[in-house]
Structure 1
Amino acid sequence: MRVSWLRALLLTAPIGLVALAVVVPAAAQDEPPAVTEMVRSQNNLKQIALAAHNFESANGKLPSNVADKDGKPLLSWRVAILPYIEEEELYKQFKLDEPWDSDTNKKLIEKLPKVYAPIRVKAKAGETFYQGFAGSGALFGGKAQVAITEITDGTSQTVMVVEAGEPVVWTKPTDLPFDAQKPLPKLGGMFDGAFHVALCDGSVRRVRRNFDPDEFKKTVTIAGGEIADSKKLWK
């Protein structure tokens, strides 16, 4: 599999240096508020994708929900990547063998990292719109973690994280339910229906408002053997 420019950067640069590259471009700073807010969210998605790649580099697998010995999810993958978004001290405060709403872990919900924070819209304290898809064939569809090499549909063709339609508690092991035979869940809660996705190669794309749902479903599965028509999806 060809290594993307992002992955090459990820493997050769310290995360602090990489983070410096993920900033609002100067040209965008003079744009209307809605545009600059979208750029901020794009940068958040880039940082999340970078963290997931760093996690994979260190552990051999992409992040998944933290589970107990029986496979029961306890904490979200968003907690698992904390050390890779420069939040290692917060990560150390979690009891990884306890659920998200245990007495200890519940106190940490309010410590929502900035990279997960809602943009433009309000949500309850500790909630985020950044979610993956959970379901058959999706990246977060099973109990086992997924390696980059298992994304046979292509990392540039597969969704990692999306701006969901409704927020969830960031530590809770909850993501968007996916069933290829059913309508997609609500998306685009931060920007009046418009939304962005981080793909598994680390790139971030803005989705057309009139996107084709059936084409989008092809980007959710990691090994479905389908190639989505990008002209019907990306703006």
Structure 2
Amino acid sequence: MGDSPNESRPQQLPIRALLMYVAYCAALIAAAVSIYGPGGIVPAAIIAFAWSSVFQSKNRPRMFLIVSGLGFLLCCVPLMLPKVQGAREAARRTQCRNNLKQIGVALYNYHDVFDSFPPAYTVDETGRPLHSWRVLILPYIDSSILYPRFDLSEPWDSEKNLPLLNEMPDLFACPSSTDGHVKEETSTHYVAVVGEGTAWPGVGGSRIGDFKDGTTNTVLVIECDSGIPWTEPRDLELDEALVTLSSLDAETALGHSHETFFFEEFYGRHVLLGDGSVDFLTHGIDRRFWRGILSIDDEFGLDWERSERREVTGQRKLRIDRCVKFAVFVLIALFPLPWVWLNPRSEYGRGGTMTDDISAG
């Protein structure tokens, strides 16, 4: 006997099912992109293809187990990522430290030329601040080509100078902040503390001989994600800095941080000392100590050794937004799961059941 029309005609996915599959893929991709960015299209496509393979199989449960096994093996790979991320963060932290060391070398080279460190900012004849000390040390950090393009007689945000804001040297940015904690791409993460009695009195520059405490006990520059544009003649005022630096809230302290997928970790901050060395201070150091190391003539009896022995402890903040997005992504990814067992359409005739699929497999 000849084949029936249904047997001779190739099976086609019903329009309704096709539309549902397209809608599912769109939702899955949207959820993945919200978490991983454009790269989320890849895992979304893999998941969508896996479900397509399951539902086109003659034996869905068996195919589902195979796909799940492969998926489990793939999921084992990210278990190694924390170690990789930890190594990368250690490298970034080292680079952050080296940035401050290079800034220290530039400040000392400036001191050799002008017999003083640069002023915190330059001013015009009316006393209006024009440029930051970061602009003044450009010739000493391998940015001699950029420096002549500034018009130092005009403000940092003038029509001529403002475009140069986008050409910030990498030296002024902490690599760890590229994970997302950075406020602006043109913001510096290394600032001075300006005020009477500090290494940065304001318009005038200090000299090494002014450091009555000794250069090893005085801070020149601190790491701080304050969102200050690198050319702007602005840093942290002393009172503002003391509040920020002594804060027990790691997020408010604006120090060194690193983002993992579910957490943002806060550690402390690097500081450049007057002798050109760099140290790392944890969060939670009291106001009195910070006041002492920011002063060039400490009257509080600074105990630097005691601070150095403090244990570095990080603080974690759960990223609720990413947790919610990840939960939505997982729910969408697993949405087709019940249909693996619930009344599937048999490939061997209308009205078939899962029993038919299993016996056929």
String of CA shifts for 1:77-96, please: whole Å, max 9, x gaps. Answer: 00000000011110100010
Q: Which amino acid aligns with 2:145?
A: E
- CA 1:32–1:204 in structure 2 vs 1: closer, same or farther (change >3 Å)? same
The aligned amino acid for 1:34 is: E
Are 1:154 and 2:214 matched, yes or no? yes
User: Does the C-alpha gap of structure 1 residues 107 and 49 become closer, same or farther in structure 2, counting only changes over 3 Å?
Assistant: same
| Alignment partners' CA distance in 2, 1:189 and 1:106 | 28
Structure 1 residue 227: Cα displacement: 4.2
Select 1:37's aligned residue among 64, 85, 92. 92
Q: Give the percent of matched residue pairs that are identical in Structure 1 and Structure 2.
A: 32
Aligned length: 207
Q: Is the 8 A contact 1:71 1:143 kept in 2?
A: no
Q: Which amino acid aligns with 1:62?
A: F
2:141 maps to which of 85, 89, 94:
85
Please tell me whether the aligned partners of residues 117 and 206 of structure 2 are also in contact (alpha carbons under 8 angstroms): yes
The answer to whether structure 1 residue 199 and structure 2 residue 273 are counterparts is yes
1:52-201 equivalence runs, <5 A? 52-64=107-119, 65-121=121-177, 122-179=182-239, 183-185=243-245, 186-191=253-258, 192-201=266-275
Q: Cα offset for 1:222?
A: 1.3
Partners of 2:156 and 2:162 within 8 A in 1: yes
Q: Which residue identity does 2:90 align to in structure 1?
A: V
For residues 257 and 232 of structure 2, the distance between their equivalents in structure 1, rounded to whole angstroms, comes to: 20
Query: Cα offset for 1:40?
Result: 0.5
Query: Which secondary structure does the structure 1 equivalent of 2:237 belong to?
Result: strand
1:182 offset after TM fit, Å?
5.9
Stretches (4+) displaced over 4 A: none
Q: Secondary structure at the match of 1:223?
A: coil
The alpha-carbon deviation at position 189 of structure 1 amounts to 4.8
* Change in CA separation of 1:83 and 1:71 when aligned onto 2, cut-off 3 Å: same
2:68: which partner in 1?
none
Distance 1:205 1:176 in 2: 19
Amino acid at match of 2:293: T
CA RMSD, 1 decimal: 2.3
Displacement after TM superposition at 1:211 (Å): 2.1
2: CA distance, partners of 1:181 / 1:145:
19
Shift of 1:226: 4.1
Preserved CA contact (<8 Å) 1:215 1:232 = no
**Contact (CA 8 Å) 1:195, 1:206: kept in 2 or not?**
yes
Unaligned ranges ≥5, structure 2: 1-83, 246-252, 259-265, 310-361
Q: Distance in 2 between matches of 1:177 and 1:193?
A: 23
Alignment match of 2:288 (pick from 214, 222, 227): 214
Q: 1:184 to 1:120 in 2, by over 3 A?
A: closer
Give a deviation string over 1:193-222, Cα, whole Å, max 9, x none.
411100011000010333233112101111
The 8 Å contact of residues 163 and 190 in structure 1, kept in 2 or not, is answered as no
Give the secondary structure class of the aligned counterpart of 1:168. Answer: strand
Distance in 2 (CA, whole Å) between partners of 1:138 and 1:224 is: 10
Instruction: Give the whole-Å Cα distance in 2 for the aligned partners of 1:68 and 1:128.
Output: 23
- Corresponding residue SS for 1:74: strand
SS for the counterpart of 2:151 is coil
Counterparts of 1:34 and 1:106, CA distance in 2? 32
CA gap of 1:203–1:91, structure 2 versus 1, over 3 A, is same
What is the DSSP-based 3-state SS (H/G/I as helix, E as strand, rest coil) of the residue aligned with 1:207? strand
Q: CA shift at 1:69, angstroms? A: 3.0
The answer for unaligned runs of 5 or more in structure 1 is 1-28
Structure with bigger gyration radius: 2
Residues of 1 paired with 2:104 and 2:241: CA distance?
28
Letter in 2 for 1:203: S
AA at the equivalent of 1:177 = E
